[in-house]
Structure 1
Amino acid sequence: MRILVVEDEPKLADLLQTYLQAAGYEARCTGDGLAVMPLIEDWPPDLVLLDLMLPGRDGLELCRDIRARTAIPVIMVTARTEEIDRLLGLELGADDYICKPYSPREVVARVKAVLRRSAADPAPAQAREVGGLDIDEGAWSARLDGVALDLTPVEFRLLVLLAGQPGRIFSRDQVLDGLYDDRRVVTDRAVDSHVKNLRRKLAAVRPDEELIRSVYGVGYRLELGGA
């Protein structure tokens, strides 16, 4: 599987490439933010390790662009540890994030975990319709009242989870179990952030309805007419 390492520190990029190749991956590196999207088009990777601070284009802008065009998993890498940066990376569609300094072995473990989730996601190629919501897991697409929803991979998994049992209350722990194999870096605030973003995208289609309800102290449930 192909891993694109976007890192502008040459020694660190070479170290990550060495560890990834030793783990059986094909890895390429670039430290130029402007080169990332052309490289993804010419050499489509299975995962992108994306540094936050880059020359040309920063990692957050690139993550937004990658998510708008593809479903390639993205792991954000940053030395800026402020929580807002972490949440912003997740809101833009990152599947995980790693803070510097880190162990290259930890990076490889995270890559394996995200790729394992990514490989498992398309397996149940099911289509369902409930209350005006159409979800096609095989095609990774969702529509509400016929309007396509532009969802990140994490938001899509969240919608699939909630729509599997409309009306059921899912706790944060159950949401985490449904979205992530490993919750080492995922906080309750990150879950709230994903729910907020999904709720906003649903509200763009049905502004007069609150489809995802927060049950104080318990969790979340999806409410659809006719469900």
Structure 2
Amino acid sequence: MLTVHHLGKSQSERIVWLCEELGIPYELKLYARDPVTRLGPPEYKALHPLGTAPIITDGNVVLAESAAIMEYIMAKYGNGGLIPAATDPAFADYLYWFHFANGSLQPNLGRSMILSRLDLPADNPMLNWVSARRDLVMGLVEKRLGEKDYLAGDAFTAADIVTVFSLTTMRLFLPMDLSPYPNILAYLQRIGARDAYRRALKKSDPDLTPMLT
């Protein structure tokens, strides 16, 4: 049985959502963050040497890293769903945006989160560089969503699933005003209307109001 080990308010919401979109059977195990450190509890850290979310188990397989987990689940259980065919003109865009999520968007937001906790002066060169990169990356997403309803094109794909956490739940850790990004806000409303997204959030983090505005 495929088991999703979900650490509360973490990137593992992507995996719950993916399973709901694909309509595949899975077991969901929930883990609460330590109230002081905000990290995973010992039983979660025992699952994988890094102890980071998400983690799945599937028989003897133990797998971490959200993009790797998503590719594994789609290849083994997805029956071609949520991925354009290689002959589809949207395929290259799908690959780009799927990897952009963890290759560009999430790292830039993560650096901003860390620096925001260091009480650096406003003229700190590293702070300014990271802020400029974050604005560039967010601007690229905004531009794309002004051109297409979804990141890979006209159809919803796994590229959207892997991206949305950074624009929503991540803001619990890095508050970010999305009002300068009307296309992103409109996109999040489309996402929030999806039954599978609502089911996933209700199962994984029932006390969390989806951060779609």
Assess same fold via TM > 0.5: no
Q: Which has the higher helix share?
A: 2
Q: Which has the higher contact order (CA 8 A, sep 6+)?
A: 2
Q: Which has the larger radius of gyration?
A: 1
